[in-house]
Amino acid sequence: MRPDATLNLWKKQLGTAPAWVWERTDVEALVLADNSLTSISDEIGALKRLRMLDLGHNQLTQVPSALGELEALTDFLYLHDNQLTQLPARLQNLTALRYLNVSENKFEALPQCVCAMIGLIELRASDNLLTALPESIGRLARLRELHLRNNQLTALPESIGTLKELRQIDLRGNPSGVCPKAP
């Protein structure tokens, strides 16, 4: 990634993302973390070269469905430490994304669109309110790391056993006895 292809606005006390950010269509990495943002413009969909996006440590209650148009988004998508309860279905288009962090939000269920992100190698969903995982998590065949610490999981779906690349699963801080469901 070219150094000039990174736009780092980390911890700039923005409150809202400036309109000129969406005009930087050459950007491959965009960091808007820790800015007390409450919304992101749909204009983010114009950043077609974006490979990495960091929206963590804000106050977002939703993200725009235009994120699903960012098909070059392959490296990282950080959405951790916000107030998210759901994700737009169009994020299922991010099939080449390798790393997703949705930890420290308010998800009661893992969004179905996440289970369509078949390129994921690492998924972090710790510190949410998850009570179960969908059976469709088995579609994430490339997944190597699954971080589910500090949720309310009491069982795992049988499809977890089909994740042949899975090397690490973190279930600490869930009710005791979390294990795959018996057939």
Domain boundaries, the chain: 3-170
Q: Rounded distance, CA 125 to CA 107, Å?
A: 9
CA distance 116 to 5: 28
* pTM given for the model: 0.95
- pLDDT tens digit sequence for 96-108: 999 999 999 999 9
Give CA–CA dist 160/74, Å, rounded.
23
Q: Reduced to 3 DSSP states, what percent helix, strand and coil does the chain have, rounded to the nearest 5?
A: 20, 15, 65
Phi-psi region of 61 (alpha: psi -120 to 50; beta: other; left: phi over 0): alpha
Q: In Å, what is the CA distance from 58 to each residue of 17, 25, 150, 154? A: 11, 23, 20, 29
Residue 53 and residue 67: Cα distance in Å, rounded? 10
In the chain, % of residues over pLDDT 70: 96
Among the listed residues 66, 99, 56, 76, the one whose alpha carbon sits nearest the alpha carbon of residue 1:
76
Q: What is the CATH number of domain 3-170?
A: 3.80.10.10
Q: What is the mean pLDDT of residues 13-27?
A: 96
Rounded Cα distance between 170 and 174, Å, is 10
- pLDDT on residue 118: 98
Query: What digits encode the pLDDT tens for the residues 48-94?
Result: 999 999 999 999 999 999 999 999 999 999 999 999 999 999 999 99
Residue whose structure tokens are 């969903």: 125
Nearest-CA neighbor of 144 among 161, 173, 176, 121? 121
For residue 180, pLDDT over 80 is answered with: no
What CA dihedral angle connects 11, 12, 18 and 22, to 10 degrees?
-40
Query: What's the pLDDT at 183?
Result: 47
